[in-house]
Chains A and B, each alone.
Chain A
Amino acid sequence: MYRYNPDDLALIRERAAQFRAQVARWRSGVLSDSEFRPLRLQNGLYVQRHAPMLRVAVPYGMISAAQLRKLASISRRYDKSYGHFTTRHNLQLNWVRIEDAPDILDELTEVEMHAIQTSGNCIRNVTTDPFAGIAPDEAMDPRPLAEILRQWSAMHPEFAFLPRKIKIAISGSVEDRTLGWYHDVGLRLDGKDSGQATFAVIVGGGLGRTPLRGQIIRQHLPWRHLLSYLEAIVRVFNLHGRRDNPYKARLKILVQRLGLAEFSRQVETEWAHLKDGPATLTEAGYQRIAAHFCSPEYRQGAASAARLAEQKAAHPEFARWLSRAVHPHKMPGYAAVTLSLKAPGQAPGDITAAQMESVAALADAFSFGEARIAHEQNLVLADVEQGRLFELWQTARKEALATPNVGLLTDMICCPGGDFCDLANARSVAVARAIQTRFADFETLFDLGEISLNISGCVNACGHHHVGNIGILGVDRQGEEFYQITLGGRQGSAARVGKVIGPAVPAAHVADVVASILAVYRRERRPEESFLHTFERIGSAPFKPCLRAANATQRTETAV
């Protein structure tokens, strides 16, 4: 992975020192609350329901064992010995004190980490595929360009105070695993032009209160022009995005208002000036970065098919885990492994300090000292010898990191919700727990097969409910927590948002409604047919009665 040079390090150290001074000026009254707020946000510090929250960046999801150990130590010293992985390669510490934040930022610099631009109206942490560099369907490792995007966007002087945030995702594979259609800007490798990689540029996507699928503004953009083209897009946004209403300020709203054709015309006009200018990438510059991402020293003959078959036969639980948590690798004999952070009773994405240290130890022992954060709020060890999977599983299960539910119902995406977040209407984690409890049986989970269930505590959609096969959105009904259910959403290359199937249901009934929806699926499905395919075939009508039962119960309870 990328290692900082002395300049990189000086930059984040100065930024940490600057933040320490800002906190001091705020405490002494020189900076008002309203002046301090955007400054602290750009350093990842929120003031939340119970305590401030610090959001630490894990750029494009790459994390080293040393970084994991440092995060564990920080969470022990300054927080409650755990953290929460979000859907955008960040780790949130939920219980920090503002006065400790400068010390935490200093400690982070020791392992080349920071919280710069993890919030605020600026270019946020760039995200990519957790299987970058190892996926068999990948044509180009997106990480060098992701690192270039990180360097370019970090403290970009022109784009420090945009109308609203800009989220960028980059993907180099056939299947999209970055939710590129639903980012402000999605970059997807779309070919090679005279041996040079080219990208499709998607703009104006986003979830939140106005979910919009992005649109392709340009195809076959040569990689050398990525930054100048992005500068053109973000400049048009900076100058013309709305600043009077934060709910109407995202790039997607500007693209919608102007129409893609007019937005594109403005971007192209701007780009005509920027193209081939100083932001143009060079082969030498790219190679300097790419050298940090060369393949590790893979061992030949790491496969051991016969032994693996024996182990599977002897240990059905291992076989079950293997079928869910292990993913193909471009290198024969190797595999990528997802460490599920969705054990029964665990808030999705939460990780204890002890688990962080365990993952660090596993990364050191099995995966060249590195791990990845997946946007589904799990961790990935990307380079594991197949012959050592059994050994890995035996260790990981002791730390509750080997729940065999990856891609199954209880592998939910869920925001921290009303237990922590100031924005939330609803306690999404409690709903996740109710569903985990209801579907604790692995026979049932495996029978239900691949399905995604995403929960957001409010319309800001941090839990990506729109793109879950089953989406659950917390809403407020006169002070009561209700949940709106959508079906048919999906991520991937064919990503789209689901459909609301009817009126919201009370919190206490959500697990019942989910059970009822899944019962309809089991009744209606054809052999080997996934939930999504069944939904596609039969539509939402057969699922609507699932809500009626819950609402009827609610009416009865209210009447009593």
Chain B
Amino acid sequence: MNALIREFATDFQIVPDDPWRIAPEESAAPRSLPEGAWLYPLAVWQKEAAVIRARGETFGLRLLPDTPPIALEALKARLADFAVIALDFPVFTDGRAYSLARLLRERLGYTGELRAVGHVLLDTLLFTRRLGFDAWAMSERQDVEEALVHLRSLRQSHMMRHPYQ
């Protein structure tokens, strides 16, 4: 996975030794995967939740942008089980994950790490940060130090309340 930036209580930092890996799409996969921290596709989790739990690992989820909101709502009672939920951007202009993020945070009360993966540019940090993302696996060619500067500088004004509020 590419360089990861994570928001901590007071600052944003580069996480040098991020353990999370994206699990393959095949539903039989959990049995054959080595031990570790895996982000499972939703379909795999839906079929193999018992197997995944039995492995005794900390586990996470990776959601594609076409995930139906209703499937997320079905997960509501189990959301606390996931240490990380990664929302995938096949291309940075696919904005569906933006709505999914709000649903997870605001409606379903998910409080674990919400990570942007896939095509993640400097240019969408402010939007995703405002939607409750707190980790970013930056795409290649993105200057990670610049991303940190960006996140820190945007922290103030873009969190402002508008005069009508």
Majority-rule SS of A interface residues: helix
Is A121's CB under 8 angstroms from B93's CB? yes
CB contacts under 8 Å to A, within B91-140, are 92-96, 98-102, 107, 121-124, 126-128, 130-131
Q: Which residues of chain A have C-beta atoms less than 8 A from B124's C-beta?
A: 160
Q: Which of A71-79, A280-288, A455-463 contacts B (4 or more CB under 8 A)?
A: A280-288
Is A22's CB under 8 angstroms from B123's CB? yes
Q: Nearest A residue to B130 by beta-carbon distance? A: A157
- Min Cβ gap B135→A in Å is 16
The residues of B with any CB-CB pair to A shorter than 8 Å are 69, 92-96, 98-102, 107, 121-124, 126-128, 130-131, 141-143, 153-154, 157-158, 160, 162-165
- Min Cβ gap B76→A in Å is 13
> 8 tightest A-B contacts by CB?
A161-B95, A157-B130, A157-B127, A151-B162, A285-B164, A148-B164, A10-B157, A161-B93
Q: Kindly state the separation between the CA atoms of A162 and B99 in the bound complex, as whole angstroms.
A: 10
Q: Nearest B residue to A280 by beta-carbon distance? A: B165
Most buried by B among A22, A35, A152: A35
Is A14's CB under 8 angstroms from B157's CB? yes
Answer whether residue A423 sits at the interface, using C-beta atoms and an 8 A cutoff: no
Answer whether residue A46 sits at the interface, using C-beta atoms and an 8 A cutoff: no
Is A14's CB under 8 angstroms from B154's CB? yes
Which of B107, B131, B160, B165 contacts A158 (CB under 8 A)? B131
Majority-rule SS of B interface residues: helix
Is A286's CB under 8 angstroms from B131's CB? no
Indicate whether A158 sits within 8 Å of B93 (C-beta atoms), given known contacts A30-B141, A151-B162: no
- Min Cβ gap A290→B in Å is 10
- Min Cβ gap B69→A in Å is 6
Q: Nearest B residue to A120 by beta-carbon distance? A: B93
Q: Kindly state the separation between the CA atoms of A204 and B142 in the bound complex, as whole angstroms.
A: 38
Q: Which residues of chain A have C-beta atoms less than 8 A from B130's C-beta?
A: 157
Q: Which residues of chain A have C-beta atoms less than 8 A from B157's C-beta?
A: 7, 10-11, 14
Q: Which residues of chain B have C-beta atoms less than 8 A from A285's C-beta?
A: 163-165
Is B164's CB under 8 angstroms from A157's CB? no
CB contacts under 8 Å to B, within A104-163, are 121, 147-148, 151-152, 155, 157-163
Q: Which residues of chain A have C-beta atoms less than 8 A from B92's C-beta?
A: 35, 38, 161
Q: Which residues of chain A have C-beta atoms less than 8 A from B160's C-beta?
A: 7, 10-11
Most buried by B among A162, A243, A281: A243
Q: Which residues of chain B have C-beta atoms less than 8 A from A31's C-beta?
A: 121
Q: Which residues of chain A have C-beta atoms less than 8 A from B164's C-beta?
A: 147-148, 151-152, 281, 285-286, 288-289
Indicate whether A239 sits within 8 Å of B69 (C-beta atoms), given known contacts A39-B123, A157-B127, A157-B131: yes
Answer whether residue A378 sits at the interface, using C-beta atoms and an 8 A cutoff: no
Q: Kindly state the separation between the CA atoms of A418 and B89 in the bound complex, as whole angstroms.
A: 36
Is B98's CB under 8 angstroms from A238's CB? yes
Indicate whether A38 sits within 8 Å of B158 (C-beta atoms), given known contacts A22-B123, A158-B131: no
Q: Which residues of chain B have C-beta atoms less than 8 A from A288's C-beta?
A: 163-164
Answer whether residue A97 sits at the interface, using C-beta atoms and an 8 A cutoff: no
Q: Which residues of chain A have C-beta atoms less than 8 A from B100's C-beta?
A: 239
Q: Nearest B residue to A19 by beta-carbon distance? A: B123
Indicate whether A289 sits within 8 Å of B163 (C-beta atoms), given known contacts A35-B121, A158-B102: yes
Q: Which residues of chain B have C-beta atoms less than 8 A from A22's C-beta?
A: 123
- Min Cβ gap A216→B in Å is 25
